[in-house]
Chains A and B, each alone.
Chain A
Amino acid sequence: MIRNFKKAYLLLSPSLFWLTLFLVIPVVFIAIISFTTNGDFGAIIYEFSTKAYTSAFSSLYAKVIWQSVWWALLATVVCLLVAYPFAYFIANAGKWKNILLLLVMVPFWTNLLIRLYAWIILLNNQGVVNNFLMDLGFIEEPLQLMYSPGGVILGLVYGFLPFMILPIYSSIEQLDKTYLDAAEDLGAGPVRTFINVTLPLTLPGILAGFIITFVPAISVFVVTDLFTGGKLLMVGNVIRDAFLVEMNWQLGAALSLLLMILVLLSLMIFMRFTSRKDRKLLV
């Protein structure tokens, strides 16, 4: 590689310009807004205030924040538990591997809204499941399948499971099989080989999957929106309403900044503990 400061930045300048102008500056501006004062009709008064943060952690919104963290975390863990054996199976499926992987790519690329809609057909009060159960006489009244934390977690898992599968799949596929043979030759049983060899070697995939599943899961607003009609809230709903309905940009900005900090921290941790090769797992 050549040391050439000028040429490097000449090639980089258009994208750095774009990212600075439309990503860095707006996010910095959000950070500033979060410390301003909310005036009448949502006017931004440039006087220092931490009110947005105190109200974000007041009982009303703190509940939503913890609820979001908890649901997103739960959904991510479920995704991990489902994705690992699933990815392991695909990675070892021989000639079927590519076809099976493409079958995962279809839901991965199909719009989240459409995939959530598919569950609404199944689960709403006049939905397929409720109709079926009522026809069989198991229930009298439709079950509230979507309008519950369980429904929200189902939506999150369904929405973001492919995000967990793909990086784990890549890390299992890249696994050097000779390590497994060596472990076996040295007398380790399958369980021990898995815990001491396979799991540590695929940890970068798990980490990458965890980040790219947890981040959209905690910030999404359409799952709660479509499944519960806004009765159950996550951080994303509060941010959206703060900007579009309540005109309380300070609160929305503060919550956005908290999300941003969470994301930057997890990215830094990821980049600290993985090699350059592993970073491809994020994309």
Chain B
Amino acid sequence: MMRPRTKKILFSFSLLVFLFFYIPILFVIIFSFNDSKLGTVWTGFTLDWYGSIFQNKQLISATMNSIYLAVITTIISTILGTLAALALHRYTFIGKKSVEFLFYIPVVIPDIVVAVALLAIYGLLNMSLGLNTAVPGHVAITISYVMLVVLARLSSFDNSLEETAKDLGANEWKTFWKVTFPLIFPGIMAGALLAFTISLDEFVISFFTLGPGDNTLPVLVYSMVRLGVSPEVNVLSTIIIAIMFIVVFVVGLRMRKGGDAK
């Protein structure tokens, strides 16, 4: 349908966009193997920085904090988001439109507004900040994603299956665990994965609501990047990019095969 010339132009243009995406990333990876401690002049190949980064205590504790936060966030928002999706899928009720609107707010709200609003409330209550004071914000911005992903899964399955189970004498509880839950489980997992990734990636809310001594990985990266180019950041970035690549391709290909969205 597309004219060959149009197709050629689109192809070249898209190639440029891909280069735009990946050339900067490529340079980070290259310089992570650079011998020089300073700046961006290539002096020789080394793996030394990879060795030293695994002994960086700050980095290890920030990584553990990030994982801890992401796990807690995922557990809470997966449960809450799934329950909400069930309610919105099954029932009509007064105020449904407003509830739906409320769930879209965290999707579009600037993270800095959530962050300073929570900081202000903590200040009002004279609460001291720590690792756990970041949990409310992380959960608040991830519930909606879980809800929307599970809701998408729910709306694609056949309601008559539940009705059949009920007709055959299963009570509501049994119907849920034997029929509904197994059917929406892939959706719940996708939602959980999304919540986990968003929490792991979240910087602004953590930056404002963590205690002074508690770093997460993005907060630590921020404080390192502010100081300029350094081999440690090159290595750390390369590792994170590599993990992202693996996760995106493994999860992405599997989900595409399974026919799921996201």
A residues apposed to B, CB below 8 Å: 1-5, 7-12, 14-16, 18-19, 21-27, 29-30, 33, 82, 85-86, 88-90, 92, 98, 100-107, 109-122, 124, 126-128, 131, 158, 161, 180-181, 184, 190, 211-212, 215-216, 218-222, 225-226, 236, 239-240, 243-244, 249, 252-253, 256, 259-260, 263-264, 266-267, 271, 279-280, 282-283
Contacts and interface: CB of A to CB of B under 8 A. Distances in A.
A18 B143 contact: yes
Contact of B81 (A15, A120, A260): A15
A283 B145 contact: yes
Interface size class of B (residues with CB under 8 A): 35 or more
Contact of B108 (A33, A90, A115, A266): A266
Contacts of B81: 15
Main secondary structure of the interface of A (DSSP, over half): helix
A121 B113 contact: no
Contact of B229 (A105, A111, A120, A184): A120
A266 B117 CA distance: 20
A185 to B, nearest CB: 12
Given A111-B201, A118-B27, A8 B225 contact: no
B112 A256 contact: yes
A56 B19 CA distance: 40
B200 to A, nearest CB: 9
Given A282-B104, A283-B107, A222 B14 contact: no
Interface of B: 1-3, 6, 10-11, 13-14, 17-18, 20-25, 27-28, 31, 39-41, 76, 79-81, 83-84, 86-88, 90-94, 96, 99, 101-114, 116-121, 123-124, 136-137, 139-140, 143-145, 147-149, 152, 197, 201, 203-204, 208, 218, 221-222, 225-226, 228-229, 233-234, 237, 240-241, 244-245, 247-249, 252-253, 256
Contacts of A282: 104, 107-108
Nearest to A28: B117
A225 B225 CA distance: 10
Most chain B beta carbons < 10 A, residue from A82, A118, A253, A263: A118
Contacts of A121: 24, 27-28, 31, 40, 229, 234
A111 B203 contact: yes
Contact of A22 (B13, B39, B137, B201): B137
B225 A116 contact: yes
Contacts of A116: 225
27 contacts: A1-B91, A3-B91, A7-B91, A8-B88, A27-B113, A30-B120, A82-B17, A103-B22, A106-B245, A109-B247, A116-B225, A118-B25, A118-B237, A119-B24, A126-B40, A127-B40, A212-B107, A215-B110, A222-B203, A226-B226, A243-B120, A243-B208, A249-B123, A260-B113, A263-B113, A283-B145, A283-B148
